[in-house]
Structure 1
Amino acid sequence: MLPNTQAPAAKTRAAALAALLFLIIVAYLSVSLVAPPPAVPDNAPPNEFSSGRASKQLREIARQPHPTGSAENERVRLYLLAELRSLGLEPEVQTAEVVPRQRGVAGIPSAAGRVTNVMARLPGTANSRALMLVAHYDSVPTGPGATDDGAGVVTLLETLRALKTGAPLRNDLILLFTDGEELGLIGARAFAGQHPWMKDVGLALNFEGRGAGGPSLMFETSEGNRLLIRELAGAAPHVVANSLMYAVYKRLPNDTDMTVFKEAGAAGLNFAYTDRITSYHTQLDNVEELDERSLQHHGSYALSLARRFGQLDLRETKGGGADAVYFNLLGALFVNYSEAWAVPLAAATTVLFACLLILGLKRRALSVGGMAVGFLSFFVASVVAWAVVRGAWLVARGLLAGGYESLPSRTPYDLLPFEVGLLLLAFAVAAAAYAFMFRGTGASNLLAGALLWWLLLLLLTTALLPLGSYVFAWPLLSALPGMAVLVRRGEARAAAASPLTLLFVTLCAVPGVLLFAPLLYLLFMMLGMELAGFFMLLAVLLSGLVVPHLRVLTVERRWLLPAALALAGVCFLFAGVSNSGFDAHRRKINSIFYVLDADAGRARWVSMDARADEWTSQFIREGASRESVAHIFPWSRQHGWQSEAPAAALPAPGIEVLEDRADGGVRFVRLRLSSTRRAPSMLFFTEPETDVRRAFVNGKLVLESNNRTPTASGDATPPNAPPTVPPGLRVSYAAPPPEGIELLLEIRDTSPLRLVLEDISYELPEVPGQTFSPRPSHMMPAPSFRSSDTTIVRRKFELDARAESTLAGF
């Protein structure tokens, strides 16, 4: 009888398959552990934070949208004042005007306005510096703001209630409820720049929401955070955070109220939950859609950290300038250490890797050519995987039901089938690369080539992004023993790898899976699907840790594993597309707003949607044209469907000339701008032919152009540089007072003045002679302050060289 030479290979393939299934289970468990804590009912002990109690308050706050300047905003403010008084505090109200300088060639208007902050102070027994808890109580006009940021508001209220049941804190506790955050952090700027309490703040904890569930992430902190992170790890019971998020976030153009307080010199920790981002700034941001566990997670941070930091000396919160590296393992384990260890860790890993390479070359288990093939194979797999994943997502997105392009982050409601489908396609490409392209290269060379990419990324992040270097350091360091076993055995052919060898390599890959699987989950949760191709590069990188397994499984029937993975991926994508319809919990988004030219007595319906649907078609009639909306929003390069509409009897905004004089080649024009119909927002801008040198709103400098366009950094572009948008003044003003605001323009005396004033209200008008059906329950307004369910009344003011004013239509 001939010996059964295939038996060992069969056992090895079975071991490789079992090992990959084990790693999939590890990945699933690591992701499932990144979850908020259970909700706590309203009958919990009084010294505990209860999401059940907080939810009752949230229902009062998030009844309706309550943007700055609205009647609902005032109702919420009065509710907050009453709640704070009921808890024994004497709340204060800060009403202030903020007029930031206009910056940036992108043309976004300066976000100015009048806001009303609510604050209260709980005195400590021996205050060092104050601990401040922050949330904003305004919402966008298109959503009731249960998550953004009603959950943060009730977190502060319930935390205060629980604190009042125990011993007093050493430090003063400030509770700040800001107004106007959604408009551009106006309330935070008012407090930081104008209120005397700001100088007392040693540490700020800000609570935000950008979704409807998921764990509350500590996604941002301040420089020199080593001591803060150490205390966070010791005090909070369910920390979910990693320093890579912070390192990336501070390089992005994103802002919350925390941005302002950090600029003012305070240390801080910023918290938000971001799952189901499709509810962000929409009608689905309501109490019914909110996962109460996420609110409980907010509360677990707020109460535990208030008790911890409330007793510490907050005069030294920046740890001597040292930052921390931190991340979760298996959910509950929160690892943190000084950033100073990043370089030694990278150096030690590099030395160990180099020793293994030298040993492998000496034992002829490795070769320069073989490692080069492994290095190249990984590069090819990564590039092809990115292209395949990006293409598959574009195809799937094109097949989705119309209306998804307007959802936040252009992300489907049900992300899971798309995430899994694209992940399987990425792994299919990696398996195919090792199966078809480099069959003659052994497992040790392929693994060494793949790990060289890990080493390269470790060195790059250590140099450029040290707070994120742990992502590559620990998986690579833990993978080296597995590579050492392959090198020691001198296994040049993947088929010769024993089951025990594969088992050991599998165990060495576990730390990489424990770090990368939750990271991919959080990235998808925070950023949606538009960066799926980039995310899948991380997945391909992870496949480099199991190169021996892929090689074993593709030695025979090399097409089987890639084909099975690709087929499964396509099936998941098909399931996601098939389930992409709309209902009351997954609503279609559409846009319609009304623009009245008060000068010409003409009006238009405008929609920013790609096409009219069964509801917006009653406004956007057949024969409508798709035109630029730059005459309405001068910074916009978008086009919208525009259809003639009857002119409603709405009063025009007021423009009154208070002063017009010339001096030294400069013309000074002082105007009073007002909303006759008491709209909650005004937008005013000059047209390109107006050469504005300086502009002041209520005496505050808003623009100083020097005949040049200022950049985001405060520098300026040369006069002959092509601007990306027309130059000039652009200001959005929230909650204008009944008497209006004063605008002083300094323009070149030979320049005409062309000023457009628009007032904006957050509802559609009653139009004479027309009745419209209400929006169906499976639809909702697109998230926008100006271009969804709004009424805009505009007029143009012109002043020529003879100081004669006229009004002209568009």
Structure 2
Amino acid sequence: MKERSRNAPVKSKPSGSGKTSHVTGVDEGLQNHDSSRSPKRSGYAILALLVLIINGSWAVHHYQFENMPEPLSAEQAGKRGFSEEKAMKHVKALTELGPHPVGSDALDVALQYVLAASEKIRKMAHWEVDVEVDFFHANSGANRLVSGLFKGKTLVYSDLNHIVLRILPKYASEAGDNAILVSSHIDTVFAAEGAGDCSSCIAVMLELARGISHWGHGFKNAVIFLFNTGEEEGLNGAHSFITQHPWSSTLRMAIDLEAMGIGGKSGIFQTGPDSWAIENFAAVAKYPSGQVIAQDLFTSGAIKSATDFQVYEEIAGLSGLDFAYADNTAVYHTKNDKLKLLKMGSLQHLGDNMLAFLLHAAASSHFSEGKAKEADEKSGDDAAIYFDILGSYMIVYRQRFAKMLYNSVIMQSLLIWATSLLMGGAKTSIAIANCILFGLSLTALLSGIAPPFTEDAARAVNVVHVVNTTGGYGEMQEPNSYVSLFSTTPGELTKEVEQIGEGFVCGREKVYDFVTFAVKYSCWTQNDAGSGWSKSDVPALYVESDIRGDDRITHVSMDTKSSTRWTLAINTEEIEDFRFKDSSDELIPVGDKSSADGWHIIQYSGGKNAPTRFNLTLFWVKNYTQDQNPLLRLRTDVDRLTPAVERVLMKLPPWCSLFGKSTSPHTLAFLP
């Protein structure tokens, strides 16, 4: 005020005009003073806001992702409830078997365990409930999915076994005409014992079946539990059930249980096309979890994976729900998918949600009978949008309403953002602080203070004993054998090789084609590479005949020897079509082939009794070029540890783990 008073007139009694002059002078002084000051926020205010944001974000994250229900004991759950304690016993029994991929002895033991548990449920069920258990052996078949990862592929399977359990009221046989399918897979990849993917799912299903078997006398619809094998090799178990089992014709909805990590909240990440399932789940679930943004991300192809839900939707034309555990995704398909990392409350969360939904759906007289393809045509722009709020409530609304809502939010957000740019302060200091935090984090990572991989979040690697030979018209050159070490994660393997030893040499010139993918950087060693396999294991391709006329037709026989898991690529630039047979059945008929990058891939997996001799008939394009590209590329896999691979695995650093995928080679691979 003192500074401002100096701008006022000297003592004199102002007249009317003088008074106006005095006020004008004060206003001008105030304006000049205010214009010299830029708007600033107090540093304490910014700090308080930062603390509030951090604590608020932690609270939201905790309730959204980490707040789990209390596990129930068998006594607390009773006959009709869900007990995590009982379900966890199933997880323990299955993981104690170690990895149990298709074709392994361990998978046979796992199947017998699930069968015995299912028979026990049948015997202990309510007297007015029918529980039927079927040990289902699937015939050979071909899975020809057309979208996602399977474009340009045919997935062939043989000698697969599944356990199918059906629950329906004893005195209402018409309930069997409409069924809800609950499905998951028993098999694992060769690199993991599968506590999360998917022994946890199998355990939840067994405990659900036990509880539901005491409720089923009031059902209007049957509930079918499918414990399948072959999922990890390309969704083959689900396909064989849908195309071969008599109960598949009664299905009206499919629920798939999956894992992309281990434990945590099992959330919905795929649903529809019909919205009946998601709307009713939101209404009855105790701890609803699911985000439509996860569905958008998954269906966009950004996540290179697939689940049995694709078979149920694409082949069977069913609507439904797809659940997945997604906590600690770094353990996916590695050695760390183990029981000790399975978070308490995870099974209870999924079990309570599923029990409430299944009891509601099975007793509903308004059960949706619409097929997925029909619903998709009708829904159009009216698909369901869904998300949960802190794991307590789920909001579901239709796409038509969403468009109006989103347009409104976008306009308001743009207005707020534009206003903040004009009136906000401290943007520079906040940006500098973020850069400093990022720099410190990056420095810690690169210096090893915070290592990128740990024993519980291991780097995914593959150790493969490769036997490479080139065949032609029944002749075979001397095999070239070596052990290859490579990783799907970015970065070199210098530290790993230093710790392992064994004479590995790394480089970008160590490039090799594994048929389903190419390795552009790897490490090789030939130490003791000649032991652990024999020439009788090497597969053979023979040209039986090559008829050239108006149409060129080539007949090829193939013997995969000791392998029941293999991949064959066919050059579609030269081959217009083909027919594929085993010794008794036509597995892939002529017609309706797709290709990707000029190749069609046959991916085969089977049990121990699967055939190993096949016949391939190739129909050439009219104007074939006979260029230098190979006509066929074959890789056969054997789940066997050679002495060289065994030594490497023993010396593998604790921050590394073998990684398994349907397209990955096993620990012994032949490339003829």
Distance in structure 2 (CA, Å) of the matches to 1:211 and 1:652: 35
User: SS state of the match for residue 694, structure 1?
Assistant: strand
* Aligned mate of 2:609, from 718, 721, 737: 737
Amino acid at match of 1:28: W
Cross-structure match for 1:669: 555
CA contact (8 A) 2:572 2:595 kept: no
Cross-structure match for 1:113: 157
Where structure 1 has 5 or more consecutive residues not aligned to the other structure, the ranges are: 350-450, 456-475, 484-543, 713-723, 796-810
Distance change >3 Å, CA 565–CA 317, structure 1 → 2: same
Amino acid at match of 1:568: L
Cross-structure match for 1:96: 139
Q: CA deviation at 1:198?
A: 1.5
Cross-structure match for 2:394: 334
* Aligned mate of 1:605, from 459, 483, 487: 483
CA offsets 1:463-502 (integer angstroms, 9 cap, x no match)? xxxxxxxxxxxxx48x97xx6xxxxxxxxxxxxxxxxxxx
Distance in structure 2 (CA, Å) of the matches to 1:276 and 1:250: 21
Q: CA deviation at 1:208?
A: 0.5
Cross-structure match for 1:710: 594
Distance change >3 Å, CA 340–CA 589, structure 1 → 2: closer
Cross-structure match for 2:356: 304
Cross-structure match for 1:50: 83
Alignment of 1:432-471 (within 5 A): 454-455=410-411
Alignment of 1:608-619 (within 5 A): 608-609=486-487, 610-612=492-494, 613-614=496-497, 617-619=500-502
Distance in structure 1 (CA, Å) of the matches to 2:261 and 2:588: 34
Distance in structure 2 (CA, Å) of the matches to 1:17 and 1:668: 75
Structure 1 length-normalised TM: 0.64
Amino acid at match of 2:307: T
Q: CA deviation at 1:236?
A: 0.6
Question: Larger % of helix: which?
Answer: 1
Cross-structure match for 2:333: 281
Distance in structure 1 (CA, Å) of the matches to 2:298 and 2:145: 24
Distance in structure 2 (CA, Å) of the matches to 1:15 and 1:258: 50
CA offsets 1:563-592 (integer angstroms, 9 cap, x no match)? 334333433444555221655424344332
Percent of matched pairs sharing the same residue: 19
Distance change >3 Å, CA 38–CA 120, structure 1 → 2: same
* Aligned mate of 2:112, from 70, 75, 78: 78
1:681 maps onto 2:565 in alignment: yes
Amino acid at match of 1:293: G
CA contact (8 A) 1:101 1:701 kept: no
CA contact (8 A) 1:607 1:620 kept: no
Amino acid at match of 2:400: A
Q: CA deviation at 1:96?
A: 2.6
Amino acid at match of 1:215: K
Distance change >3 Å, CA 85–CA 546, structure 1 → 2: farther
User: SS state of the match for residue 212, structure 1?
Assistant: coil
Alignment of 1:313-712 (within 5 A): 313=365, 314-316=367-369, 321=379, 322-345=382-405, 349=408, 454-455=410-411, 476=412, 544=417, 547=420, 551-554=423-426, 559-575=428-444, 578-580=449-451, 583-597=454-468, 599=476, 600-609=478-487, 610-612=492-494, 613-614=496-497, 617-622=500-505, 626-630=509-513, 632-633=514-515, 635-636=517-518, 638-645=520-527, 646-648=529-531, 649-650=533-534, 651-653=536-538, 655=540, 660=545, 662=547, 665-669=551-555, 671-675=557-561, 677=562, 679-686=563-570, 691=575, 693-698=577-582, 699-700=585-586, 702=588, 710-711=594-595
Q: CA deviation at 1:310?
A: 1.0
Q: CA deviation at 1:141?
A: 0.8
1:164 maps onto 2:213 in alignment: yes
CA contact (8 A) 1:692 1:728 kept: no
Q: Which has the larger Rg?
A: 2
Amino acid at match of 2:399: E
CA contact (8 A) 2:188 2:198 kept: yes
User: SS state of the match for residue 335, structure 1?
Assistant: strand
Q: CA deviation at 1:40?
A: 0.8
Distance in structure 1 (CA, Å) of the matches to 2:99 and 2:646: 29
User: SS state of the match for residue 33, structure 1?
Assistant: helix
* Aligned mate of 1:214, from 235, 256, 264: 264
CA contact (8 A) 1:620 1:641 kept: no
Distance change >3 Å, CA 545–CA 287, structure 1 → 2: farther
* Aligned mate of 1:200, from 228, 243, 250: 250
Distance change >3 Å, CA 606–CA 79, structure 1 → 2: same
Cross-structure match for 1:370: none
Distance in structure 1 (CA, Å) of the matches to 2:195 and 2:615: 36
User: SS state of the match for residue 68, structure 1?
Assistant: coil
Distance in structure 1 (CA, Å) of the matches to 2:541 and 2:432: 72
Distance in structure 2 (CA, Å) of the matches to 1:772 and 1:232: 45
CA offsets 1:305-350 (integer angstroms, 9 cap, x no match)? 1111111132445787343222223442322223332344356x3x
Amino acid at match of 1:594: H
Q: CA deviation at 1:272?
A: 0.6
Distance in structure 2 (CA, Å) of the matches to 1:255 and 1:728: 19
* Aligned mate of 1:33, from 58, 63, 79: 63
* Aligned mate of 1:760, from 610, 618, 637: 637
Q: CA deviation at 1:190?
A: 1.0
Q: CA deviation at 1:270?
A: 0.6
1:290 maps onto 2:342 in alignment: yes
CA offsets 1:695-749 (integer angstroms, 9 cap, x no match)? 313344648689xx9346xxxxxxxxxxx45x46644344373542422313449
Distance change >3 Å, CA 39–CA 301, structure 1 → 2: same
Distance change >3 Å, CA 141–CA 108, structure 1 → 2: farther
CA contact (8 A) 2:156 2:587 kept: no
User: SS state of the match for residue 627, structure 1?
Assistant: coil
CA offsets 1:394-427 (integer angstroms, 9 cap, x no match)? xxxxxxxxxxxxxxxxxxxxxxxxxxxxxxxxxx
| Cα RMSD, aligned residues only | 3.9
Where structure 2 has 5 or more consecutive residues not aligned to the other structure, the ranges are: 5-32, 123-130, 470-475
Cross-structure match for 2:11: none
Q: CA deviation at 1:116?
A: 1.9
Distance in structure 2 (CA, Å) of the matches to 1:773 and 1:223: 48
Cross-structure match for 1:272: 324
Q: CA deviation at 1:284?
A: 0.4
Amino acid at match of 1:229: I
CA contact (8 A) 1:92 1:119 kept: yes
CA offsets 1:516-535 (integer angstroms, 9 cap, x no match)? xxxxxxxxxxxxxxxxxxxx
Distance in structure 2 (CA, Å) of the matches to 1:346 and 1:771: 55
Amino acid at match of 1:311: A
